[in-house]
């Protein structure tokens, strides 16, 4: 949600279902991490957005995992 502030713990690895900050093609995104047999999928919480499928053809880095969220009302 616009205005939310996320707290990210810096680390280079993630477990399935972790919400991660990831750098894909020089863009940073916040997605749920999913690891399949032959690819990684970054899943959006918003169903309007398609998963990002990473099969090794695009540069991809895990920047960290979500550990907190601050929301103002």
Tens digit of each residue's pLDDT (9 = 90 or more) over 15-34: 999 999 999 999 999 999 99
pTM of the full predicted structure? Answer: 0.90
**Res. 50: pLDDT tops 90:** yes
**66/56: higher pLDDT:** 66
Other CB atoms within a 10 A radius of the CB of residue 47 amount to 6
């Amino acid at each position: 949600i616009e205005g939310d502030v996320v707290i990210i713990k810096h680390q280079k690895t993630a477990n399935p279902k972790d919400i991660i900050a990831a750098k894909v093609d020089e863009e940073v995104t916040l997605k749920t991490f999913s690891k399949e047999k032959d690819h990684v999928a970054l899943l959006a919480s918003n169903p309007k957005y398609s998963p990002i499928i990473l099969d090794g053809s695009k540069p991809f880095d895990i920047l960290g995992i979500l550990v907190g969220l601050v929301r103002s009302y």
